[in-house]
Amino acid sequence: MYNVLLMPLSPGNRLGPYEITAPIGAGGMGEVYRARDSKLNRDVAIKVLPADLANDAQYMARFEREAQILAALNHPNIATVYGIEQGALVMELVEGADLRGPLPLEEAIPIARQIAEGLEAAHERNIIHRDLKPANIKLTPAGVVKILDFGLAKAAGEFSAATPGASPTLSPTLSLAMTQAGTILGTAAYMSPEQARGKPVDKRADIWAFGVVLFELLAGRQVFGGGETVTDIIAAVVTREPDWNALPANTPAYLRRLIERCLRKDPKLRLRDIGEARILIDEPAPAPSAAVTAAPAPRRPWPWIGAAAVFALAALVLALLYFGRPAEEPHAIKLHILAPEKSNFTTDCPAVSPDGRRVAFTAVTDGKLQLWVRDLDSLAARSLPGTEGASYPFWSPDSRSIAFFAAGHLKKIDAAGGPALALCETTLLHGGTWSQNGVIVFGRGYGLFRVPAAGGTAIPVTTLDQEAGESRHAFPWFLPDGHRFLYLAVNTDREKLAIWVADLNSKERRRVMPAASNAVYSPPGFLLFTRERTLMAQPFDASTAQTTGDAVPVAEPLDDFFISSGSSSPSRFSVSRNGVLVYNSGIAGAARQLT
C-alpha cells in the first residue's frame, strides 16, 4: 500500500528526491507537475492522483497498473517511466510542441513513421494504448516523437472496457457514453467504432486512431470532429465515412491507401498490424505479387523497343484502391510481359480488352509489323495474320474483336483470328474508340470521324476551332452511355491543351479539364490521364461529364511521347471496365524498359 500523496502540490513541495518546480497540466487520471530529481540532477514529470480519488482502492489499483505497464516499455518514441514515489508516477519530462495539422508531407511522414514505431513496440508487448490522439503525442525540438499517457493502456487479455461492473471513474475522459453494458474509454473523435460501442478492443483500435491522427496531420482537421455533443461525434465515428477530399491533393496514393485501410469500420477488414503501416511508409511502392522475367537481350535503337522490354499490367480497382472502403481486400497483380520471341514491341500503346482478360499490342518480327494478342492467364502471345502494318489497336465492347489502322484503312479482326475486314479509308491516324451502340469514332486527318462498326462512310463529328488555336482532335474514348465521348483538343498554345466531351447526338461540346494527354474513363467513376509522365486518376461523374474531386497519382513514370516530343501520340496506357490497367513506362526517345 502506497503512502498516497494528495493534490494539489505547490512549487517547493518534495516527494522523496523530487522537488516540485511548476504545474504542467491535469488529465483524467491526475495532475502533472514538473519536478527536479536531486539525485540524478535532471527534470522529470510527476503525475499524482486527484485528492477525491486517492483513497479509491480500485482507482489506485489502476494507477499502479499503469505504472507497471509503462515501466515495461523502453522505446525512444514512448515517454519513459522512472518509477513511483509516494503514489506518484515519475516519468520522463517531454518538452516540445503538441501535434497540429496541416503539416507538409516531408514533416508528416517522419512523424507518422515514429508514431507507428512506438505503437509497434507497445503492441509487441501486448500493450494497447486505447487513447491515441494528438494531445498524447509530443514532438521534441529535435524532431523526436514521444507517445504519452498510456493511462488507458491495457495488456491484451486483461479486463476490457466492457467488463461488467467496471467503474466509470476508471475512464480518463470520464464523460463518454457510459452504459451498464460497458464503460467506453477514450476520446470520442479518435475512438474506433467498436470502442465507441463499448465493446472489447484490441490493437486494431490503436490502428484506427493512428489513421485518424495521420488524416488530421495531413488535412488539418479531425476526421469525425465537428459534432456539437459527444453523442454526435460517436454517431459519426460509427456511421459516417471520412471526407477523402479533405486530404491535400498532393497526398501520395500509398498514404491515402494506408489511411483508408486504418479507417475501416469493421476491425476484421482493418490493417492487421501497425508494423504494416511502418513498412508501407518506408516502402510505398508495392512489390509485384506475380512476375514473368527473363534475361535482358541487347537493346535496339529507336523507334523499336528491345526484346527485354515488358508491359506492366496492374490490377488496380481504382475506386476501391484509393477512395472507398471495399467489401473485401482488392488483390493487386503486376505482370511483366516480354515481347514475343525474336520480336520487338513498337511504340504503340497496348490495349487491354474491356473484360480485362486479354491485351493486344503491336510488335515487329523479322521486320514484319503485326498485331498480337495475349491472354493474361497465359504465358504465350499469338500473332494475328492479316494485320501487317497495324497500329493503334482498340477493342470492341464485347471483347471479341479488335479494330486497328493499317494500309490507309480502319480495319477490324476477330480476336481469335480470321480475315481482317476494312471498314473505311483513313489517313493521319489519331486513335479510336468503339461504342456499345456499334459506332466507332476515330481520328482522321485533323478531326474526329464516325463510322458504323460494320463498315461504311466516315462522317465528321467534330470541327476544329481554329480561331482558338486548335490544330487537331485526337484519341477519343466513349463514355458508358455510348453517345458521348472524350477527346484531346491539341492546340498551338500548349497552355490551352484540354480534354473535351462531345455528343454524337448533337453538335454540342464542352471543355472538361486542362490536360496534355489523352484521357480514358474507368468505372465506377475515374478519369485517367497523365501529368508530367505520371498516370493520374481523378474522380469523374460520367452522367454529367464533370470531375468531382482531386486527382491522385496511380503510376509513374510513363512513356508520354506527346509531352516529350510535342507530337500527338497518346500516353501509353489503357484500362478495362473491371479495372485492369495497362501502361508503358520508361524514358521517351531512348532505349527503354516498360515496367
Tens-digit pLDDT profile for residues 477-499: 999 999 999 999 998 888 899 99
Q: Within 10 Å of residue 138's Cβ, how many Cβ atoms?
A: 18
The predicted model scores a pTM of 0.48
Rounded Cα gap, residues 342 and 365, in angstroms: 6
Residue 210 predicted with pLDDT over 60: yes
Which has more confidence, 452 or 60? 452
Residue 315 predicted with pLDDT over 50: no
Residue in the block written with cell 482537421 = 221
Q: What DSSP element (H or E) covers 70?
A: helix 57-71
Residue 439 predicted with pLDDT over 70: yes
Residue 137 predicted with pLDDT over 60: yes
Residue 104 predicted with pLDDT over 80: yes
Domain 14-92 matches domain 97-282 at the CATH topology level: no
Q: Where are the domains of the chain?
A: 14-92, 97-282
pLDDT in tens, 259-270: 999 999 999 999
**What are the backbone dihedrals phi and psi of residue 449, each rounded to the nearest 5 degrees, phi first?**
-130, 160
Which has more confidence, 283 or 120? 120
Quick one: cell of 586?
A: 520508361
Q: Which residues are marked as active site?
A: 131
Compute CA 27 distance to the chain's CA centroid, rounded to the nearest angstrom.
36
Strand 470-478's sheet: what is its strand order? 470-478, 484-491, 498-503, 509-514
Strand 421-425's sheet: what is its strand order? 391-395, 401-406, 409-414, 421-425
Pairing of the two strands 520-522 and 526-531: antiparallel
Find the mean pLDDT for residues 375-404.
91
Find the mean pLDDT for residues 491-516.
91
Task: Tally the residues of the chain.
Answer: 595
CB 365 within 8 A of CB 386: no
Rounded Cα gap, residues 459 and 478, in angstroms: 17
Q: Which amino acid does the sequence have at 85?
A: E
**Predicted confidence band at 68 (pLDDT cuts at 50, 70, 90)?**
confident
Q: What DSSP element (H or E) covers 124?
A: helix 105-124
Q: What DSSP element (H or E) covers 279?
A: helix 274-282
Quick one: cell of 355?
A: 473484360
Residue in the block written with cell 471520412 = 242
* 17-26 contacts at long range (C-beta below 8 A, 24 or more positions apart): 17/85, 18/44, 18/46, 18/85, 18/90, 20/46
**Predicted confidence band at 12 (pLDDT cuts at 50, 70, 90)?**
very high
Quick one: cell of 33?
A: 507537475
* Residue 517, pLDDT score: 87
Residue 590 predicted with pLDDT over 50: no
What is the average pLDDT value for the chain, to the nearest integer?
Answer: 78
Nearest to 543 by CA among 515, 528, 521: 521
Nearest to 96 by CA among 53, 45, 55, 165: 45
Rounded Cα gap, residues 126 and 305, in angstroms: 54
Q: Is the dihedral of CA 9, 14, 16, 22 positive or negative?
A: positive
CB 491 within 8 A of CB 468: yes
pLDDT in tens, 407-425: 889 999 999 999 999 999 9
pLDDT in tens, 13-65: 999 999 999 998 876 557 899 999 999 999 999 988 766 666 777 767 776 77
Which has more confidence, 275 or 569? 275
Rounded Cα gap, residues 405 and 221, in angstroms: 52
* Residue 119, pLDDT score: 96
Find the mean pLDDT for residues 206-225.
94
Query: For residue 457, how many C-alpha atoms fall within 13 Å in the half-sphere facing its CB?
Result: 1
CB 224 within 8 A of CB 246: no
Nearest to 431 by CA among 392, 388, 469: 392
Find the mean pLDDT for residues 327-355.
69
DSSP state, 290? S
Q: Within 10 Å of residue 370's Cβ, how many Cβ atoms?
A: 20
Cis amide prior to 102 (ω within 30 degrees): yes
**Predicted confidence band at 154 (pLDDT cuts at 50, 70, 90)?**
low
* Residue 356, pLDDT score: 87
Q: Is the dihedral of CA 25, 29, 30, 34 positive or negative?
A: negative
User: Where does 49-124 show beta strands of DSSP type E?
Assistant: 81-85, 88-92, 97-98
Residue 165 predicted with pLDDT over 70: no
Which CATH superfamily groups domain 97-282? Transferase(Phosphotransferase) domain 1 (1.10.510.10)
Strand 580-583's sheet: what is its strand order? 334-338, 310-315, 580-583, 573-575
CB 325 within 8 A of CB 269: yes
Find the mean pLDDT for residues 378-393.
89
* Residue 350, pLDDT score: 84
Q: What DSSP element (H or E) covers 65?
A: helix 57-71
Domain 14-92 has CATH 3.40.50.970: no
Find the mean pLDDT for residues 355-366.
88
Exposure class string for 347-368: b at 16+ Cβ within 10 A, else e: bbbbbbbbebebbbbbbbeeee
Rounded Cα gap, residues 387 and 368, in angstroms: 10
CA angle 100, 103, 105 (to 5 degrees): 145
